[in-house]
Amino acid sequence: MSRYPAPVFESKIVAPGELAARLTQLPRPLVFTNGCFDILHRGHVTLLAQARALGKSMVVALNTDASVKRLGKGDDRPVNALADRMAVMASLECVSLVIWFDEDTPLARILECRPDVLIKGGDWPIEKIVGNAEVSGWGGTVASIPFIHQKSTTALLEKIRRL
């Protein structure tokens, strides 16, 4: 046993079966976003901070490794395993809870969370955001936040490979 305590941020990582109980502890309005977040970069953290500013708490759902592979981002993706991606995400101050999903879309997690605000990055038109109809249907807001920093994990990996 280590003489150092476990990092506090690890308590933000929630198994799907524990989500309902943990949601009751979060203040509303609740923001929800999702993604692979394979190699966290400035574009990601800017979007996450902007999203969180639209509510009092935020849940971030990450694609499992298998789900990332099905997205066709490349044979070597994700670079970072789910446990590592969740730990990095949970360490961000703007993130209240981190959850994962193995399906091709986060719809089940969106329905469980019933967020007041559903956010995706600017490359997603609102009408294509998974959960748009549901969140709008219960009176929530759906937004696609324009990118301030044009960053891409795929482009970053291509740059690393060239070096």
DSSP letters spanning 118-153? EEEETTS-GGGSTTHHHHHHTT-EEEEEPPSS---H
Question: pLDDT of 54-110, one tens digit each?
Answer: 999 999 999 999 999 999 888 889 999 999 999 999 999 999 999 999 999 999 999
State the amino acid at position 11 in one-letter form: S
| Entry pTM | 0.93
Domains of the chain: 8-162 (3.40.50.620)
Give the chain's count of helices (H) and strands (E): 7, 5
Distance, CA of 110 to chain centre: 11
Sheet holding 117-121, edge to edge: 97-101, 57-63, 30-35, 117-121, 141-145
Segment 131-148, tens digit of pLDDT: 999 999 999 999 999 988
Tokens describing residue 40? 């966290």
Distance CA(88)–CA(37), nearest Å, equals 9
Preceding amide of 78 cis, omega within 30: yes
